Structure 1
C-alpha cells in the first residue's frame, strides 16, 4: 500500500526513482509522483493513474538531478487526483515530502496551521507535514523534522528533501515500513527491498521511532530525539530474478506455478531424517506448549483463510481450542488473553497494520506470540516472540497464491508439532500426515498440468454476473479463498457459502445458469455436498465440482468435475485451492482485467 523511493548520489535520480517505483507497483496505487532538484529549483511532477502517465510527463523534464523522492499513492484521504498525489510541498516550494500511512490528528494540526496563515490545496492528511516542517525550519532540516514528527499521531514512513539543503535526504519510520539502501557514492530509501535491489544488497531496516539522514556518502541513523544509533546491515540473499516474471505473462501465473518449489522449500527442511518435525529455532520449553490453554489465530484476507484451516488442524491434532479472528476486529472484541494463551499471527508481508496491532495487544497481555510470515526482517517478524517463515520468495501479484499454500502447510506442520509434544496424536496418524505433506509438492505439480482444462472452464464463467462457491468443513474455507481470488482479479461478484446454509436464504439467488463451484474433498461430508449440488441443480445452476480421484459418481451430478489426488481430508486444502487459483486467473484474463494490479487493492496493507 503506497510506495516510497528516494535517491541521493551521482546517477540520474529521475531514472532510478521511476525504476524503483515500477518495482513497487505490486503494492497497489492510483497515482504517482516525483520531486527532484534541477537548476536550483525543487520541481514536482505527479499524475493520477499508472506510472506510464507520470513517465510521459517526465519525458520533457531534465534527467540529471542528483537527488529525488518518489511515491505511488493508494488513496485514503481525498480521491485519486493530480493534486492529492504525492509528493506534497510547502507554499514556498522548498520542502517536499512523501508519506505512507495515516496522520490521525491531521485535522487538529491543519486547523492550527490555517490560523497561522498556511493555505492548503489538497484533501490529504500528508499536506500538514511539509507545512509543519516549514513552520519549525530555522536552517537545519533534520532538527525541523524532529520537531514536526513529535506532533504527529498515527503511522508514517516519510521521505523528505529541501532545496535549502540539496545534498541531504531525511527518512523517518513509525508503524509503516521503510528501509535504507547503502551504496557506493549513493544511498537510497524505499518502502521495500525490490525497489533498490538493482543497485545494492546492503540494507538498514528502520525500526519504529527511528530516522536517518542521508548524503551520497554517508548514512546517519538516529532516534526521534536525534540521538545516534547503531544497526546491523542486512544483506539481501535472494535473487532479483525471483521478483521478475521469468517468461510468464503475469506475476500471478508465475507465482501459481512456483508453488511446487516453494512448498518443498517450506516443508522439507523442517522434516528431519528421523521423521520428526523441527520448527527452526523454536524452543519447546520456552514456548511451554504443554501448558497452553487456548490459541488465537489472527490475520486478514487470504492469511485469515489460511488461519481458519490452521484452526481445524490444531484442534484436530493438538486438541487445543482455537479462536480465529480477523485482525481488524480482534482488538475491539476484548479478547481473553493471558500468559497461557498463544497468539499466532499470519501475514505475507509482515507489515499488515491490523495484524501488527493485534500482535502488540497480545504482547501487552503477556501472551506468547508466534508469526507465520514470508518477509524476513519485516515488522511482525522482528516484534514476535517466535517466527516461522514461509519460504515462498517475493510475491508480487496483489492476489496471494503461493503465500497462501505455504501458510497452510506451515500451519499443518505446527499443528502436528504441537500434537507431538503434547502426545495427542498416535504415531501412525502422525506418520501418515507427514507422508501426505511430503507428497503435496508433486501433487500440486500434477494439478498444474491440467491448466488447459481450467482455462476452458473459465471460458464458461467469464461473462457471469454472480458465482457461488460452496463447501463443508475445510472445503468451506477453501471456498472462501477461491471466491476471494475470483472477486479480487476478475471483479465478478462471488460469494462463498457453507453448503448446508444455502437453504437459509442464498438459494433464492440461484437461477438458470448461475455458476456454482462445489468443493467435495472431505470424505465424511461427501454425500452431504452431493445433496447440496442437487439442490442448486434443481434451481437451474451450472455446477462445477472439485473432488478426489476415485469419487467418480459425482460426474453424474455436477456438469463438470475437476479431480485432485486422493489425500487425507485434513491435507486436501493446498491441493483443492490450485484449480480455483487458475480459474480466477483465466477468468480475469478473458475479461481483460489487470491481473497483477487489481483496481483499488494493495499488496501490503499498512493502514488500518
Structure 2
C-alpha cells in the first residue's frame, strides 16, 4: 500500500493494510516522510499493534508506504518486517520473491552496503539507492534496479531525495494505481483503496509507474511512457465488512445462495448455454475443441477435478486436470485443438499464471479463464473468460469462490455439449431449471448448520480425519479434507471410497473419524459397502447423505441428510456441509478462522 496526498496519509495506509489482512501476513509496517525526515514503524503480529505504535509516535505525513509481510526469506522478526530502508533515506515495500538476491547481496556488500535483515527485499532498497548514487533520479533508479532483478515482484519506493513522488513497479505480482483528486495511491488489491477511490489502473507485466499528487505516468518494460486504461471498481465497502457474522468465512458460506444466483444470472437471462457467455469470439474458439486441459491450484484444482466428470460424461470430451505448479515444469505434449482452462479466485495466482504462459508457449491458443476478479492478470491473458460473481472473498479458506467456480464449469460443460450436438432441447431445459433451483437448494443445505455444530464438538479433540467419496463426489471429499486442515489444523486426508481397502483402512480406529459423502446416486450401494468396512474396524462415521438415501443411524454411524438429490449439480450442495464442518470444528478448537497460520489468500509467490 502506498499513498501521496495533501492530507495525512497515515490513517489511509493503516486502513488499507487492515483491508489487506485477509491475504495472510505475520508482520506489518509503514514508512512515511514527515518534512525532511523518514520515520518507520514495524511490528510482528497484527496491523493493530503497528497502528498503536504509529499513534504512540505521532506519525503524520503526506507521503508513505506500508506492507503486511508473509515471511519467505528470514524469520518472523521486526528486523525482517517491511518497509526496508537504505541509509535511512530510501524505503521500499515488496511482494514476491527475488531469485537472484544472493548474487545482488554480494555485489552490493562489495560496494559498501550493510544488510541488517535476512530478506531478499532489502536487496531492492540498496540496489535502487546504488543507482541513485550513480546519478539516476528515483524513477530511473527503480527502472534500472528492476532490470537487474530476477523473480517476481510488486514494489513501491519512496525517497527522501524526491519527497513529491512515489515509484511503483510490477513483474509477476499484482499491483494497481488508484486515482484520486489531489491524491493518488498504489496497492496490491483494490480493497485497500476503495475507501478513497474507485478509479484504478491495473499495471501490466514490466510496468513502472511514477505517482505524484497531481498525476500518474506509466512506463512499459522498455521504458516508454504508455497509456493504461482506467477502470471503475465495483467492489463495495459492505462486502468488506463483517456485518452480523463472527468471521468472514461464516459470512461467505452464507452468501453462497446469492453468489450462485448472481453467477448464473447471465445464463438464465440468455435462456440457454451459448458461447457468448464466455466472450465475443467464443463460438470460434470453442468450435472444434477436441479436449479440455484444466490448470489450477488448491481449491480451484478440486473444482477442476469435479468438472472432469461433467465434461467427459456430458460433453463427451477427454479432460485432464493438472496442478498448475506441476504442469509448468514438465514437458507437456500440446494439442492446439485442446481448450486450456485456468481457474483462479484472485486471477493473480502465480503458479496458474505461469502455467498459462507455458501452455501458450507450447502453441495453445484456445484459452479460457474462470475467475472472480475482473481485469486481473489471468483473465487478461486469456482469450475467453467466465467471471464468477461471488463478490469479495476475504477468508483465506475459499468457500463461495469454490461453489461459483463449479457453476461456471458446469456452464462451460453444457455449452460444449450443446456445440457438439450432445445436448437436446429437453436436457438443456432441465439443466437450466436445475440451475434456477440451485440457490434454494444451497440455502436448504445451510439450514443444516445446527446439526453440523453438534458434530464439530466431536471433531475438536481429534488429530486426524479421513474423508471418503466416489465418482463426482470424490473431489468434494478432497475439498472437505482441505478445509478441515486449513483452518482447524486437524490432519485430514481424502480417498476415493473404493481405495479404502488398498491401504487407508489400516488407519481406521475409534480415534479416526471418517466423513463420507454419500448422495443418492448410482454409486450409493458401493459407498454403503465401504461404510461397512469402516464399521467393522470400529471406526466412527459421519455421513452426509441425501434425504432419500436409506441410511440407518447407530452409535458408530451419524447421518446428516442434505435436501433431496439434485442430480448432476449434487457436488455443489455437498460442498456446503463440509465447509460448515470445518468452520465449526475450527471454532471449537479456537483457531484463527479467517487467517490460518502460514497461509495467504492470494498466492503470488512460487
> 3-state SS of the aligned residue for 1:209?
coil
> 3-state SS of the aligned residue for 2:444?
helix
Name the CA distance, whole Å, in 2 between partners of 1:515 and 1:70.
Answer: 44
Point out the more displaced range, 516-525 or 578-587: 516-525
Does the 8 Å contact 1:548/1:565 carry over to 2?
Answer: yes
Query: For residue 150 of structure 1, what is the aligned residue in structure 2?
Result: 147
Match of 1:8 among 4, 8, 15: 4
Query: For residue 47 of structure 1, what is the aligned residue in structure 2?
Result: 43
Query: For residue 110 of structure 2, what is the aligned residue in structure 1?
Result: 115
Query: For residue 395 of structure 2, what is the aligned residue in structure 1?
Result: 397
How far is 1:10 from its partner?
2.0
Match of 1:31 among 23, 27, 32: 27
Point out the more displaced range, 460-469 or 391-400: 460-469
Query: For residue 436 of structure 1, what is the aligned residue in structure 2?
Result: 434
> 3-state SS of the aligned residue for 2:551?
helix
Point out the more displaced range, 65-74 or 51-60: 51-60
How far is 1:104 from its partner?
1.1
Query: For residue 529 of structure 1, what is the aligned residue in structure 2?
Result: 527
> 3-state SS of the aligned residue for 2:226?
coil
Match of 1:468 among 457, 466, 469: 466
How far is 1:572 from its partner?
0.5
How far is 1:557 from its partner?
9.2
What TM-score do you get using the length of structure 2 for normalisation? 0.97
How far is 1:558 from its partner?
6.1
How far is 1:577 from its partner?
0.8
Does the 8 Å contact 2:520/2:548 carry over to 1?
Answer: no
> 3-state SS of the aligned residue for 1:501?
helix
Query: For residue 199 of structure 1, what is the aligned residue in structure 2?
Result: 196
Name the CA distance, whole Å, in 2 between partners of 1:65 and 1:324.
Answer: 50
Query: For residue 63 of structure 1, what is the aligned residue in structure 2?
Result: 59
Query: For residue 423 of structure 1, what is the aligned residue in structure 2?
Result: 421
Q: Aligned pair in 2 of structure 1 residues 274, 398: CA closer, same or farther (>3 Å)?
A: closer
Question: Residue by residue, what CA displacement relative to the aligned partner does 1:456-497 show, whole Å, maximum 9, x if unpaired?
Answer: 111121111111111111121100001111111101111111
Does the 8 Å contact 1:473/1:522 carry over to 2?
Answer: no
Query: For residue 497 of structure 2, what is the aligned residue in structure 1?
Result: 499
Alignment length (residue pairs): 602
Query: For residue 206 of structure 2, what is the aligned residue in structure 1?
Result: 209
Unaligned runs of 5+ in 2: none
Does the 8 Å contact 2:245/2:251 carry over to 1?
Answer: yes
Taking the TM superposition and a 5 Å limit, the aligned residue runs for 1:578-597 are 578-597=576-595
What TM-score do you get using the length of structure 1 for normalisation? 0.96
Query: For residue 17 of structure 1, what is the aligned residue in structure 2?
Result: 13
Unaligned runs of 5+ in 1: none
Name the CA distance, whole Å, in 1 between partners of 2:431 and 2:568.
Answer: 8
Query: For residue 411 of structure 2, what is the aligned residue in structure 1?
Result: 413
Name the CA distance, whole Å, in 2 between partners of 1:227 and 1:417.
Answer: 42
Does the 8 Å contact 2:25/2:71 carry over to 1?
Answer: yes
Question: Residue by residue, what CA displacement relative to the aligned partner does 1:344-381 show, whole Å, maximum 9, x if unpaired?
Answer: 00000000000000111111222111000000010001
> 3-state SS of the aligned residue for 2:363?
coil
How far is 1:397 from its partner?
0.4
Does the 8 Å contact 2:29/2:66 carry over to 1?
Answer: yes
Q: Aligned pair in 2 of structure 1 residues 106, 466: CA closer, same or farther (>3 Å)?
A: same
Does the 8 Å contact 1:33/1:70 carry over to 2?
Answer: yes
Point out the more displaced range, 109-118 or 369-378: 109-118
Name the CA distance, whole Å, in 2 between partners of 1:557 and 1:594.
Answer: 32
Point out the more displaced range, 249-258 or 280-289: 280-289
> 3-state SS of the aligned residue for 1:59?
helix
How far is 1:555 from its partner?
3.5
> 3-state SS of the aligned residue for 2:92?
strand
Does the 8 Å contact 1:533/1:557 carry over to 2?
Answer: no
Does the 8 Å contact 1:12/1:65 carry over to 2?
Answer: yes
Name the CA distance, whole Å, in 1 between partners of 2:21 and 2:428.
Answer: 43
> 3-state SS of the aligned residue for 1:460?
helix
Q: Aligned pair in 2 of structure 1 residues 275, 96: CA closer, same or farther (>3 Å)?
A: closer
Query: For residue 476 of structure 2, what is the aligned residue in structure 1?
Result: 478
Question: Residue by residue, what CA displacement relative to the aligned partner does 1:173-204 show, whole Å, maximum 9, x if unpaired?
Answer: 11110011111111111000010001101111
